[in-house]
Amino acid sequence: MANLLGVVLFALAILVSVSLHEAGHMLTAKAFGMKVTKYFVGFGPTLWSVKRGETEYGVKGIPLGGFCKIVGMTPQDDDVDPADEPRAMWRYPVWKRTIVMSAGSITHFALALVATWIMAISAGLPNPDFPTTDAQVNQEPAVIALSPCVVPESISRACTAGDPASPAAQANLRDGDRITSFNGAPVNNYGELLTGLRAAKPGDKAEIGYVRDGQPGTTSTVLGQTQRPPLDDPKGQVGPVSALGIGLRYSTPTRIQYGPVSAFGGTARLTGDMAVGTYEAMKRIPQKVPALWTAITGGERDMDTPISVVGASRLGGEAVANNAWMVFFMLFISLNFFIGVFNLLPLLPLDGGHIAIAWFERARSWVFARFGKPDPGHVDYLKLMPLTYAVILIGGAFTLLTITADVVNPITLFSR
């Protein structure tokens, strides 16, 4: 039930975001004097509507987005009433049209920034210095987090009654102990402890040196067994290895709590990281298509493959079911930031495509004027329709691919 609630909440959050995106277009267009005839949440059959002034507001039956109708977005629009011609969008200065067309993405950015600031002062933000790669983790001090058991399988799960007791617990090691030696070899970081463990065999006796509350000590235990891939090949063949029944207690906090003022700096830093991450993720999209196909046809789902709104909603459901609200809101923030950036790509029918054409027209007119040539006029959108259809076709195929992967082989963030 909690999972379903999370899915619904996240889907509703996305719907609100997209509706506010369209509201951004509508409000800026009205502010400049353009005529907006429709603003609807959803698509398909109309469930409810009301007309206020010259705009009809309403709700439609398919809650998959929203739209607003601005009169005369392009010179080729053939549904403009002669009385509305002076208020057609294409007649307005290019800077005004740019603001109107970018208002949707600006709304997504604003939502992401506000949500990030609220998280910064309430739950805290992810620590950018927290180790994320194997190399960074291996450099952490070998301060242990004790497990009461050794899980024989390669999966990560909670201990059950049939699991072997933890050798570390039997050796009276405790949470927060820092391991300083293993079988006589000094241990300076967590990576050296793992190397020592992998060099030993299950059932071997291990001599362990440690420091607890500033006081050194030694202990011994018999190593257990679990299943792990090689240290130098995390995706390699899983095999039996020795186990101590410990994890790493990180010396770096996973997140940082901010005050109302310092939260602005934390928000700016996370936003910068998301900008870089979004750019890198978008560059990798073409090479991730084969991985999506592999996931659909029965292969393992790569955690780095793109997800659709369906996949994001499922992850939101998982987050709520596991009381991981920080994950829920980080998904919301990341998705809004990605949509904001993606929508500004200079491709029709995206808003960025309209902005690019408007500035191309402006630049072309300036160049022609400098050479004393007559203004070439506006770009003929009809001639760009084949390219527009190609973008729609490719985008639709990619969306279908990601949705299918998210249904048949979804990414999961929590152990099942």
The verdict on whether 207 is a catalytic residue reads no
User: 282 and 396: one domain?
Assistant: yes
User: 360 and 416: one domain?
Assistant: yes
| pLDDT surpassing 80 at residue 154 | no
User: 415 and 280: one domain?
Assistant: yes
**Whole-number Å distance between alpha carbons of 106 and 94:** 17
Amino acid symbol at 249: R
The β-bridge relationship of strands 125-126 and 185-186 is unpaired
Domain boundary, last residue among 224, 248, 272 = 248
> Is 72 contained in some domain?
no
Annotated catalytic residue, options 22, 192, 318, 361 = 22
Q: Looking at residue 158, what is its pLDDT?
A: 76
Q: Looking at residue 284, what is its pLDDT?
A: 86
Helix (H) or strand (E) holding 152: none
- Domain range for 208: 134-248
| pLDDT surpassing 60 at residue 26 | yes
Mean pLDDT of 374-402: 91
Task: Kindly provide the b/e burial profile for residues 297-317, where b requires at least 16 CB atoms within 10 angstroms of the residue's own CB.
Answer: eeeebeeebbbbbbbbbbbbb
Residue with tokens 């509507």: 49
Of the chain, the percentage scoring pLDDT greater than 70 comes to 100
Q: Looking at residue 40, what is its pLDDT?
A: 95
> Is 395 contained in some domain?
yes
Q: Looking at residue 237, what is its pLDDT?
A: 81
Q: What is the CA radius of gyration of the chain?
A: 28
Q: Looking at residue 271, what is its pLDDT?
A: 92
Domain boundary, last residue among 248, 276, 292 = 248
| pLDDT surpassing 70 at residue 200 | yes
User: 266 and 348: one domain?
Assistant: yes
Task: Supply the DSSP string of 314-382, one letter for each residue.
Answer: HHHHHHHHTT-HHHHHHHHHHHHHHHHHHTTSS-TTSHHHHHHHHHHHHHHHHHHHHTTPPP-----GG
Instruction: Summarize pLDDT for 300-321 with one digit per residue, the tens.
Output: 888 888 888 888 888 888 888 8
Q: Looking at residue 254, what is its pLDDT?
A: 87
User: 402 and 265: one domain?
Assistant: yes
Q: Looking at residue 317, what is its pLDDT?
A: 87
Residue with tokens 């800077």: 95
Provide the mean pLDDT of the chain. 90
Instruction: Summarize pLDDT for 250-281 with one digit per residue, the tens.
Output: 888 888 999 999 999 999 999 998 888 888 88
Q: Looking at residue 289, what is its pLDDT?
A: 87
Helical H segments across 32-132, by residue range:
94-122
Domain count, the chain: 2
User: 113 and 143: one domain?
Assistant: no
Q: Looking at residue 415, what is its pLDDT?
A: 55
> Rounded to whole angstroms, what are the CA distances from 78 to 13, 73, 75, 88, 94?
35, 10, 8, 11, 21
User: 271 and 379: one domain?
Assistant: yes
Least confident of 33-42, 146-155, 332-341, 385-394: 146-155
pTM higher than 0.85: no
Instruction: Summarize pLDDT for 87-109 with one digit per residue, the tens.
Output: 999 999 999 999 999 999 999 99
Overall residue count recorded for the chain in this entry: 416
User: 158 and 303: one domain?
Assistant: no
